Structure formats: structure tokens, C-alpha cells
Structure 1
């Protein structure tokens, strides 16, 4: 991997083009996902419209406070919505399965996930979601947004698993640009990559909730109006 490679934001993609219910498809230029942006990143070619107008950073407060966000500007607003606490991020894995971590997020951060939906539905786009690796917290939040808009399990999981192609670059970038994460972030969790069964369990939990995923997100503060706005924004 060259220095130039490390200057390219990894795991960046546009979530447009996915099939949804009713013959609809997700629109391009609405929702992006990525790993952690870094100062001096080259202008990406993976998406058509850059930088995103709205950035939702899913890291913990301590991760976020380490340095100024490189995408914050007069035209890009950065919002911190933490899906794991500082203690949860830095806790040793001790064999903890990703499914257990994802269960913790869905159990304890439902309100934060509903806030992600509200921002995605109403803030200027494109909207970029990221955490540190762009795998776990980002994977859950993206899965929720896609499921709300009617994207099926297979396509959601395929997008999630696509992160595995980028993990060598993600880990190299964390070592270079965020060495504090290299010291505190449980690397074994990242080295496991994206585990389909972990996200499938989250999707199954949402589907089993009364009213499905719509009922779940409403139970955590989202409104029918917000869900409709998001669905109409993302799909055509």
C-alpha cells in the first residue's frame, strides 16, 4: 500500500441503485458511508458529489474530541451521534462476539439511531455516515436507513460485507491518522471484519418488533412523517 493509497478515504460508497419494495430503487447522491476521513484526503472518485453537505459521525465523544473534523466547513455540517460510549469503545473484547456488540447498540442507542433517521431525512444532502472503521456502528445505522426505505436483507448484508474489501486500508489509515485509536481500539474486533450473521441478527430483531422496523424506530422517537420523508428522499 502506497502513501497515495493512504490519502484516499477508504470504504467510501454511494448507497444508490439498490432495489427496494414496490419496484423502487435507492437514489444516488443521497446517502454515503465511509471510514474515518482524515486531513489532506484527496478528492474521492467513488462518489459524484463531494464533500457531503451533512456528516453524521457515530464515534464516541472521546474519539470525536481528539481533533477537529476534517470535513467541517461553511458548507458541511458535522453532527456527533454516538452509538457506543467511550467505555464501550475501549473495553477489551475478551472474546465478545460482534453480534453481542451490535445487540448492545440496538438495545441502548435506539434514541440515537432515531436521531440519525431524523437528520438523514431533513438535513442537506448528500449525507455521509461514518465511525472509525466504517464497519460496525456505520453498518448498523446504514442498515436501519436502508431497511426503513424497503431495501431487502440480501442487499443490505451484501453492502455491509463489502466493507471487508477495504479493511487493510482502513486499519493502515487508523494507525497513521489516529494512533490513539490504535492504542485503545480493540483491533481484534476490526480484524474480524464484517460478520454477516451479526447484522442479520439486527435485521431480524427489527423485523420481529411489532410493526417491524418502522414500529421499532417509532418506539424510539421517530415519527411517521420522518419515516415517510426519508423513504421518499432515498427511493424513487
Structure 2
């Protein structure tokens, strides 16, 4: 049987191999990102270890509750950590800059992002982060984990923008596997794709915070021990 493009989880990649300063690089097999998994997905060929042992689903409660998570099993734990509320997900986004949506996540869900860091630092790996498109909520959460580990902003932006290559498959998958979201999601924010200025604004806010991104995430509940454990786990 031929595996069609829609049967393959799009936007799935291992975030290992990125420069992390001081001659270090991010470790492969630790952190993945993707769009929305679906029942019956073909085994992916873009990552070495599958399924991930830990999944962080960043969707809102209503999105999460529509059906059982397809990766939940005895060998895979799924954590729901919503970065946008149901109301924020369904609110019209026409005319709203992605930069403003991302900064709203930082303002309203800082503690949730600290929770993402805690799971990534302590739960069995590989750890997969995803939302619906794997672009906005996933983009912010991944940017945080990469920046904490010392990855340069330019490399973070490059990873974020690479999602644009996957957007046709992402949108097709949402239409097929999450039709209940079709009336409200994808918004025009998905049709806009990954906008570099949006994630650059997030990185600039963290870097401008006194003490940088480490101090920012500590101000939202993360501990020095969690930051240390994540950095040691993810870089080599």
C-alpha cells in the first residue's frame, strides 16, 4: 500500500544538532516537534526513535477533548499544557499580528511554559511538542527550550521558518482529521505561515528581560535545578 502524504505526520523533526554555544550542540533523540498526530499515521522516517515516550499537547481544552490522543499508550504519556484558551483559539484573528498573539502567550501563559520546561527536563524522552499546526504554540514553546539551552536566535528563527515548507500538508491534515476545527482553525494566522518577525519578537523580549531567558522563566515558576537539568539533558 502506498503511503500518501496525508498519512504521514507533517512538520515532524528532531531538534538535535543545533549549535548551543561554547562548542556544544543540541542532542538528538531528546526533543521533537510536529503538527497534530492522527490515528493511523504511518511510522515516520524523519526521526530515529518512534513513538516519543512523552508528548506535550499544547492545544486548548476543547481541542484536546474532541478525541483520545492517538499516541497515548502504556509506553507514551501525554501531558496537556494549554498555551491558549478555548476563547483565544476560536477568536477571529484577521488583522491581528502574529507577534501580538505570541506576546499574549508570554503574558498569559508564562507559568504554562515553565511547566513545559519541567516536563522536557524530567520526563522520559524523546519528548514531542505539538499543537494543531505545530507552528505558533509549538513555535513559542520550542523557542523557549532552544534558547534556554543556548541556541542562537538566528538558528531558532531558521527552525521556525522551516515550518513553511510543511504548511500545505499541515492544513490538509487539519481539514481531514480535525473537521470540528475547520470553522475556526486554521485561521488566517495559519494561512500566513511562519512569520519570522513574530518569533523574533518573542526572542527579543526574552533577551531584553533582566537576566535573559533564564531569569524570565524563573519569574514564572521554573527553578535553577530544572534549567540545569534541561541544559545538561539537551546539549552535549
Which 4+ runs in 1 deviate beyond 3 A?
A: none
**1:8-27 to 2 correspondences below 5 Å:** 8-27=8-27
The offset of 1:19, in angstroms, is 0.2
The residue aligned with 1:86 is: 86
User: 1:157-212 CA deviation, whole Å, 9 max, x = no partner?
Assistant: 00000000000000000000000111122521101000000000000100111110
CA distance in 1 between counterparts of 2:205 and 2:183 reads 33
The offset of 1:3, in angstroms, is 6.9
The residue aligned with 1:54 is: 54
**1:190-229 to 2 correspondences below 5 Å:** 190-229=190-229
TM-score w.r.t. length of structure 2 = 0.98
CA distance in 2 between counterparts of 1:105 and 1:163 reads 19
TM-score w.r.t. length of structure 1 = 0.98
The residue aligned with 1:139 is: 139
CA distance in 1 between counterparts of 2:186 and 2:167 reads 14
Is the contact between residue 92 and residue 186 of structure 1 (CA under 8 Å) also seen in structure 2?
no
Give secondary structure in 1 for the equivalent of 2:95: coil
Unaligned runs of 5+ in 1: none
Unaligned runs of 5+ in 2: none
CA distance in 2 between counterparts of 1:188 and 1:214 reads 33
When the two chains are superposed, the root-mean-square deviation of aligned CA atoms in Å is 0.9
Is the contact between residue 121 and residue 230 of structure 1 (CA under 8 Å) also seen in structure 2?
yes
How many residue pairs are counted as aligned between the two chains? Answer: 235
The residue aligned with 2:40 is: 40
Relative to its length, the structure with more helix (as a share) is 1
The residue aligned with 1:66 is: 66
